[in-house]
Amino acid sequence: MSCCSFFRRSIFLLIGCLCVTPGLHAQREKFPPEILEVVEKSWPDAKKTNTGLRYIIERAGSGARPNAGETVAVLYTGRLLSGEVFDETTDKDKPFTFRVGREQVIKGWDQILPLMQLGEKRLVIIPPELAYGTRGQAPRIPRNAALVFTIELLEIKP
Q: Which residues have a catalytic role annotated?
A: 76, 86-87, 106, 132, 149
In sequence order, which residues have a C-beta less than 8 Å from that of residue 122 and are 6 or more positions away?
A: 55, 56, 57, 58, 112, 116, 150, 151
151 near 56, Cβ under 8 Å? no
Radius of gyration of the chain measured on its C-alpha atoms: 20
Confirm if 78 and 146 have CB atoms less than 8 A apart: no
- Secondary element (H or E) of residue 122: strand 121-126
CA distance 43 to 70: 30
